[in-house]
Amino acid sequence: MDWKTHFETQIDYQIWANQILFECLSGLEPDALTRPEGLFFPSIHHTVDHLHVVLDLWAARLAGRDATADFHTIRQGDWSRLKHDLQQSLRDLGHWLGTRDPGFIDGEISYHRLGGAHTRSGVRDVLVHLMGHFIHHRGQISAVATRLGAPAPEMDFLYYVRDLEAAEARMRG
């Protein structure tokens, strides 16, 4: 598997894992999503909003556009809309990445950090960082959700692979 295909698979996995997490969270009382629960970003909602903000920031940088972000303010206050928008932004990144030449993954991007300093990063490093960032924060949310009584979601990559294999087996009938 080449790097481009690897990252397209990783983006698909992120969408799948987010959906598993969102299903787990659906059993919680709505106020559990917005009250402070000891996360780096105070609430589950704010943490998911942060994931969306970061995704949009890196997607813009990867596309060669300057972007800025505010991690202190919740950008999307509606939980249903936030979940939809996050998943759609991941799909958009996957489609966009699919249009890039395979050599793009081996290149670098130039951008301004949030503090204003100009820097460069390898595209592959940025994508690894972004995928890890999702896993990191989903783990935090999952820990809080299970403490609040939600079922523990099985979001590991191999569960995704097994889910795909099961779907393929069903289609072969």
CB distance 25 to 33 below 8 Å? yes
Where is 112: in which H helix or E strand? Answer: strand 108-112
- Tell me the CA distances in angstroms from 162 to 16, 40, 151, one per residue in order: 12, 32, 20
CB distance 92 to 59 below 8 Å? yes
One pLDDT digit (tens) per residue for the chain, 173 residues: 899 999 999 999 999 999 999 999 999 999 999 999 988 899 999 999 999 999 999 999 999 998 989 999 999 999 999 999 999 999 999 999 999 999 999 999 999 999 889 999 999 999 999 999 999 999 999 999 999 999 999 999 999 999 999 999 999 98
Provide the residue range defining the domain that includes 21.
3-172
What CATH number does the domain containing 60 carry? 1.20.120.450
The whole-model pTM stands at 0.95
CB distance 93 to 59 below 8 Å? yes
CB environment 7-20: b (16+ within 10 A), e (fewer)? bbbbbebbbbbbeb
Q: What is the rounded CA–CA span in Å between residue 58 and residue 62?
A: 6
Domain count, the chain: 1
pLDDT in tens, 59-97: 999 999 989 899 999 999 999 999 999 999 999 999 999
Q: What is the rounded CA–CA span in Å between residue 82 and residue 74?
A: 10
| Residue 71 identity | F
Q: What is the rounded CA–CA span in Å between residue 20 and residue 9?
A: 17
